[in-house]
Structure 1
Amino acid sequence: MDLKSYLKDRAAEVDAALDRFLPAAKEQPGTIHEAMRYSVFAGGKRLRPILCLAAAEACGGDPESAMPPACALELLHTYSLVHDDLPCMDDDDLRRGRPTCHKVYGEGMAVLTGDALLTEAFLILAETPPAKRYPASSYIADLALAGGSTGMIGGQVMDLEGEGKELSKAQLVKIHKAKTAALLTSSIRLGAMTANATEAKLESLTAFGQALGLAFQVIDDILDVTQSTEKLGKTAGKDEAVDKATYPSIIGLEKSRKEAAKLTKQAMAALEPFGKKALRLRQIAEYLLERDY
């Protein structure tokens, strides 16, 4: 199966699982469940859950066992987007090509939608079948650290506080290790854990995730200044508008492209111990690097 078909099939499987896990839109109170589904089924690529499933495959596991954490990851990621788009944060009216949650349901309901998605994520994660080396508490702790005040939220804090300031490349890397790479790394780690990965394998996949997460952010920064709103599915040029530090603004566009390639190469090197079993992870890394910029 080629990568395009693989991504399409895996995304469909994740969507079907999310549909099973989430409360029905008509379940009371209906507005919150409708808003949750509106935000989750807005057409995302399902990158984080697919990475989770692919990591399970790389460690010889059954992707079906990795589906609960895969769905939990997507819900936590979606909650972060709902809150990011609020007027008090990035103040965006468009996400994944559709009006953002607060534009459709109001700011108060959008806050509650994000809260509900975050809570639901950990409920789903608690249902993950334990592996010999990893009880359910291991999965919960890994995602909580990735999404918490020293992970994604900490990165968002540093990102907000850095607006309008001249930051160094080292400071920007610190922000995005937390804001972006932490959750991507947890996606890969959780998939590996469901496959009962050894400590050595988990360490290699952690290195892969950290390099891939930083590469993903560099590419995202490039796309923000090179692509249109229609192509991105969100408002283009937002980073520059709020004077946010990005890779292109600090090291320039061409050096940013080289940085993305270097980080992707580092990610690939971390997969060497897995041989052919990591084919999908390699293909995904290449796919992300080659996004149109």
Structure 2
Amino acid sequence: MEDYRQIILSAEPGQLVPVVKQIDMGEPVDFFAKLSDYGRAKNCCLFESREYLTGTGALSFGTARPALYLTGTGSQFSIIALSKTGRRIIEYLGRRRKERFAFCEEVVFNADRITGRIKRQEGIVDEQTRLKCTNQMDVLRAVAFAFRLASKPFRVTCGLLGALSYDFIDQFEKLPPNKEDLLGNPDYELYFADNIFLMDHEHGRGYVIVNVVITDGDREQAIAEAQERFDYYANLARFDVPRPVKFEGPLPPAGSDTSQGEYEQMVKAARRHIIDGDIFQVVLSRTKIEPCPDEPLDVYKRLRKLNPSPYMFYLNTPSTILMGSSP
């Protein structure tokens, strides 16, 4: 930290100063398992790529100690602090509420969170007007662009990490509501990651990047918070990977939200629409529901082995565990 002290002390409010340390990481998924109690900890995420070519596909990165958790559904949103740094960011945003949250119909600032409701455009408007209307993207911009980087040592150093649901399209398109919401997940769950671990596969090097968040407060406090993050990574890196827990006992049967007969009728209806010229392509889907007797991170490990891809992810959020390997 001493090498960066002068830069940090001279930085202006609203800046992020990335501090980088090289570490012996090993496999990113195993390092992530150490940080996240084998993927069981809430508010953790991992993004990987098995296409280790030049470009963004050459990096794997993640975090288990983000500063903020952002979530929203429809017109409601919440921004929740997850650390001391997160609370400082909430306070910083609160002092700039008129500048950053003027789009809100209602907004409440507390010490550890911001909650509010955005103004939604009612009625039918043209496409250009609709795209410029206030929506949840304004919430994400208010946080993502509240700070600027003093330097950028890697393509990924910090920012919003997480997932958007398919229903997020409702922010831009007026669509009929779903008949039922089987999972009940929010429209988005994102983390403002002020610290990440990163593997540069092209050069075989692992790094920890901690961004010193400069607000209007004490610079020494910001330095101390960053040092705590480095100590956290260094301490956990020394431990062995936690052991998975195997489930024992009977399992419920698999199920679906759509029966085989109902699905076949959907296919027949789609074929009729294609023949009639109403559509030329459609993607039909149904939800499969099966018990999971293994640790979620073990399921992800098998998935990444069966289908290694440029886009692999594992997230454990307050509402769900989401994983994938696509395409």
TM-score calculated relative to the size of structure 2:
0.27
The structure showing larger relative contact order (alpha-carbon pairs under 8 Å, at least 6 residues apart) is 2
Indicate the structure with greater helix content: 1
Structure number with larger C-alpha Rg: 2
In terms of fraction of residues, the more strand-rich structure is 2
